[in-house]
């Protein structure tokens, strides 16, 4: 079943899928006469949120009501201190652990015990966030920006359907995993995780949640949820981003209790906020064609270009290419060089 992944562009390596976008970026950079034109956006984020921005830095400006309890851990060797902080914040397992400067969901894991947490921390080499696990059933990515007239716009809404397997009364869990092209490549990991059920026949109709993390390579299906757009959603997002000074463009990843949450303004938790590197994740819906995906990507790249040019016309300044490269090197060399804090 692994070969089937080649037919779905959502599973292609990032640099292959985005190769046409790199060409378009060079065109826009030449047209702008500035290589790093996008850096004028989102002054609240390093490099405009293009990469390696601290999630904790801008999450701390969001009201506590809208975010999970979060703890930043820079010193991965001070495990006793970490346990003390967990107790102080009353954080209970399961927990979500992820790099503070992670990209595309890499190394995000649901941790069920102190032993698992200790093992996770041994294998990462930068500051991490430990977050309260939010079990709301709906996870969304909402891409928002202020247009050149100062009007709020939502251009993408993507929802995530976490990977579940359903028993048929005849096949074992191992066989069900083998038959699923989204998770067959993770067979070794899943065998260890579900070792007590691995060789058992799963009763007909029984469902097993394979992965609670919303990532392509972990089996999650991304769906186009733009039909769920509402004025209440836009109003809530505007209220949210107004807590981020100088926020221009980005995607809010969040969980909600139900689709009425934006109307009632309850049951909403922000997981993270991304900047100019934000993808319109509805393009990964299995029913979305690759041509429409590229059309959508180019449209959003043009939006970033237009917003950048508008700011530049108002005398804002971008980073130079040298400053961008130099800054990136410094950030890469200092990942984790902060102190434990919590919200």
- At 63, phi and psi to the nearest 5? -55, 140
Res 337: pLDDT: 42
Question: What is the reported pLDDT for 236?
Answer: 97
Residue indicated by tokens 């009632």: 264
Q: Give whole-number Cα distances, 171 to 108, 164, 181, 220, in Å.
A: 30, 15, 16, 22
C-alpha span between 124 and 7 (Å, rounded): 32
Domains and CATH numbers, the chain: 2-11+41-162+220-303+322-342 (3.30.470), 165-207 (no CATH)
> Global pTM?
0.89
Answer yes or no: are the C-beta atoms of 95 and 129 closer than 8 Å: no
3-state DSSP of 3-53 = HHHHHCHHHCCHHHHCHHHHHHHHHHHHHHCCCCHHHHCCCCCHHHHCCCC
Cα separation, 33 vs 164, whole angstroms? 48
Q: Residue 343: what pLDDT?
A: 41
- CA–CA dist 173, 197 (Å, integer): 7
User: What is the distance between the alpha carbons of residues 124 and 31, in angstroms, rounded to a whole number?
Assistant: 40
Joined together, the tokens standing for residue 243 give 């807590």
- Distance (Å, rounded) from C-alpha 32 to C-alpha 57? 30
Asked if 184 and 2 touch (Cβ cutoff 8 Å), the reply is yes
* C-alpha–C-alpha distance, residues 50 and 40, integer Å: 11
For residues 127 and 217, what is the distance between their CA atoms, to the nearest angstrom?
Answer: 23
Other C-beta atoms lying within 10 Å of the C-beta of residue 139: 21
Beta bridge partners of 139: 160, 255
Contacts of 32 (CB under 8 A, 6+ apart): 305, 308, 309, 312
Per-residue pLDDT tens, the chain, 343 aa: give them: 555 667 788 888 889 999 999 999 999 999 999 889 999 999 888 788 887 677 887 788 899 999 999 998 887 677 888 888 899 999 999 999 988 877 666 778 889 999 999 888 888 877 889 999 999 999 999 999 999 999 999 999 999 999 999 999 999 999 999 999 888 888 998 998 899 999 999 999 999 999 888 887 788 999 999 999 999 999 999 999 999 888 999 999 999 999 999 999 999 999 999 999 999 999 999 999 999 999 999 999 999 999 999 999 877 777 777 777 776 676 666 544 443 443 4
Q: Which two tokens stand for residue 97?
A: 């652990």
Q: How far apart are CA 233 and CA 261, in angstroms?
A: 9
């Amino acid at each position: 079943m692994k070969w089937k992944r080649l037919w779905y562009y959502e599973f292609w390596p990032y640099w292959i899928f985005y190769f046409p976008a790199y060409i378009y970026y060079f065109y826009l950079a030449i047209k702008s006469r500035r290589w790093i034109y996008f850096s004028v956006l989102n002054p609240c984020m390093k490099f405009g949120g293009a990469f390696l921005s601290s999630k904790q830095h801008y999450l701390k400006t969001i009201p506590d009501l809208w975010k999970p309890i979060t703890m930043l851990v820079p010193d991965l060797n001070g495990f006793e201190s970490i346990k003390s902080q967990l107790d102080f914040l009353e954080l209970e397992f399961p927990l979500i652990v992820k790099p503070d400067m992670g990209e595309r969901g890499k190394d995000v894991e649901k941790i069920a015990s102190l032993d698992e947490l200790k093992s996770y921390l041994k294998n990462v080499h930068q500051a991490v966030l430990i977050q309260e696990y939010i079990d709301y059933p709906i996870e969304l990515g909402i891409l928002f920006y202020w247009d050149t007239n100062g009007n709020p716009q939502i251009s993408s809404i993507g929802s995530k359907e976490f990977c579940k397997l359903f028993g048929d009364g005849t096949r074992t869990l191992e066989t069900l995993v083998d038959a699923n092209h989204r998770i067959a490549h993770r067979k070794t990991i899943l065998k260890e995780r579900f070792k007590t059920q691995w060789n058992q026949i799963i009763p007909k109709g029984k469902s097993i949640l394979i992965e609670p993390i919303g990532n392509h390579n972990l089996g999650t299906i991304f769906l186009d949820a733009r039909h769920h757009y509402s004025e209440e959603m836009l109003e809530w997002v505007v209220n949210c981003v107004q807590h981020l000074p100088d926020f221009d463009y980005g995607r809010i990843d969040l969980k909600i209790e139900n689709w009425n949450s934006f109307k009632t303004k309850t049951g909403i938790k922000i997981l993270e906020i991304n900047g100019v590197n934000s993808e319109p994740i509805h393009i990964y819906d299995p029913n979305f064609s690759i041509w429409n995906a590229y059309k959508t990507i180019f449209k959003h790249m043009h939006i970033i270009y237009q917003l950048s040019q508008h700011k530049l016309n108002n005398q804002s300044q971008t980073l130079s290419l040298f400053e961008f490269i130099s800054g990136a090197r410094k950030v890469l060399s200092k990942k984790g060089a902060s102190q434990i804090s919590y919200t």
